[in-house]
Structure 1
Amino acid sequence: MQVFGTKQAQTSYLVRKGAYVIIFKNDDKKEIGLIRAHGNQYFLPGGGIRANESKINTLKREMLEETGYLLKNVQYLCRAQNNFMATLPVKQPMTSDGFFYTGQLAKKVQTPTEKDNHFEWVKVEKCEKLLFHIHQLYAVQQALTITNALK
């Protein structure tokens, strides 16, 4: 597991486990689906795992909430953590413990319910600049590396 950010001694970190999915628009892997939230912050689709919720069920729920789409061909990719100072909803030290998957969009079955989240296709080379969390960028790089190794 890859870990980003250094934990400060004598500091308590809130650990938030989440499941996230990397969705490429086409087989050429030149565009990726990202969520734009809080104005101009970009994230992979997904989010926090609720008590007694599986990682796959988290992905299904978050996809419906954020995009209105179902997922298909979901496969585990990697796990990575990011230690950082969160600012929303309050300022606090946090460890984002991410479980990352690859998948594809299936059919759209509803209108997204999270009004501040906007699903957008973004050129993959812009991920380094746009993604808010470095461990999410790492997961995208892993998905691209694996894809290129299979060619």
Structure 2
Amino acid sequence: MIFNTTRDKVLTVYTSRGDYFLPGGGIEKDESYQECLHREMIEETGYNISIGSFKAEAKIYFQSIKNEPLLNDGYYYLAALLDKLQEPIEEDHFMKWIDINDVEELLFHEHHCWAVYEGLKIERWQKCGR
């Protein structure tokens, strides 16, 4: 989860099908979660990131575009956007900041929305010095 400095927007990946996702994707052979996230960010956005600590895990079943049930297992980290390294590899993925108030309406997966709220809650708690 990457928030802007005022924590009122979250970075998403918008696809040519009209869907919004948190950046990330499937783990390849022998990859750690962090290595996967670095690779996926470069593929989807072209940007390097700094990964913070692990914040949440959530699983949800959904119907694939082939109408098959799939389990989406999400591991969520707070991260910061760094420098742009290259153009995105995935041509149908576009970086888009969305307003926190729109995550329920726009994010494709329910657990992505949940993770955004969890990330904000954790950040607010940390700001209180606890």
Count, aligned residues: 127
Q: Which moved more, 1:32-41 or 1:102-111?
A: 32-41
Cα distance between partner residues in 2 of 1:114 and 1:136:
20
Please say if 1:135 is aligned against 2:114. no
Match of 2:11 in 1: 33
Please say if 1:125 is aligned against 2:101. yes
Structure 2: runs of 5+ lacking an equivalent: none
Cα distance between partner residues in 1 of 2:29 and 2:67:
23
Q: TM-score, with normalisation over the residues of structure 1?
A: 0.81
Looking at secondary structure, tell me which structure has more helix per residue: 2
Q: TM-score, with normalisation over the residues of structure 2?
A: 0.93
Query: How far did residue 73 of structure 1 move?
Result: 4.0
User: Which of residues 10, 13, 24 in structure 1 aligns to 2:3?
Assistant: 24
Please say if 1:64 is aligned against 2:55. no
Cα distance between partner residues in 2 of 1:61 and 1:86:
23
Large movers: runs of 4+ above 2 Å: none
Query: How far did residue 74 of structure 1 move?
Result: 2.5
Cα distance between partner residues in 2 of 1:82 and 1:38:
23
Superposition RMSD in Å: 1.0
SS at match of 2:25: strand
Cα distance between partner residues in 2 of 1:123 and 1:147:
17
Match of 1:6 in 2: none
Looking at secondary structure, tell me which structure has more strand per residue: 1
